[in-house]
């Protein structure tokens, strides 16, 4: 994770020059969404569990309940929007690394599976031999049981 809090520089210029309540509310919702998204990524082992694992401006705005068009207005276009784009790029770079690591780990698991496959096949063959022996013994006992019952009824 970044040592910087989410959206640390988010629209400092906007905050300094425009303190309109709606602007402040939108900035606050964006910050909260960023923090929540980063926490979810951390909780899910470095992957984003929504939006097919991708982070976009639209996804952030959806999570923050801020219309994406808001980022295009003159108050936000050169400040908030730039910060949001930078944040999304940084998140996506981390997510890409996580996906690449997951692919590598999957490849390692596959090679381990190949080596353990032979051991599992040997174990399966041994269990089949034991089962066959147990079935033969069970058949012998069934015959012996039938013979003993026959002797009881005749004797």
User: pLDDT per residue over 82-111, tens digit each?
Assistant: 999 999 999 988 886 666 566 665 666 556
Region of residue 51 (left: phi > 0; alpha: psi -120 to 50; beta: else): left
* Domain positions in the chain: 12-109
Q: How far is Cα 81 from Cα 93, in angstroms, rounded to an integer?
A: 18
Coil, strand, or helix at residue 44? coil
pLDDT at position 48, please?
85
- In the predicted model, what is the mean pLDDT of the chain? 82
pLDDT at position 13, please?
44
User: pLDDT per residue over 42-74, tens digit each?
Assistant: 888 888 888 888 889 999 999 999 999 988 888
């Amino acid at each position: 994770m970044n040592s910087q809090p989410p959206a640390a520089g988010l629209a400092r210029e906007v905050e300094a020059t425009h303190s309109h309540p709606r602007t402040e509310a939108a900035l606050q919702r964006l910050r909260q969404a960023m923090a929540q998204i980063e926490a979810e990524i951390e909780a899910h082992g470095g992957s984003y569990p929504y939006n097919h694992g991708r982070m976009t401006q639209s996804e952030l705005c959806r999570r923050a309940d801020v219309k994406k068009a808001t980022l295009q207005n003159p108050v936000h276009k050169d400040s908030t929007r730039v910060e949001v784009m930078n944040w999304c790029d940084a998140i996506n770079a981390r997510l890409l690394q996580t996906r690449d690591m997951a692919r590598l780990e999957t490849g390692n698991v596959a090679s381990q599976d190949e080596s353990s496959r032979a051991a599992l096949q040997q174990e399966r063959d041994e269990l089949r031999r034991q089962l066959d022996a147990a079935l033969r013994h069970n058949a012998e006992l069934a015959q012996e049981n039938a013979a003993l019952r026959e002797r009881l009824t005749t004797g």
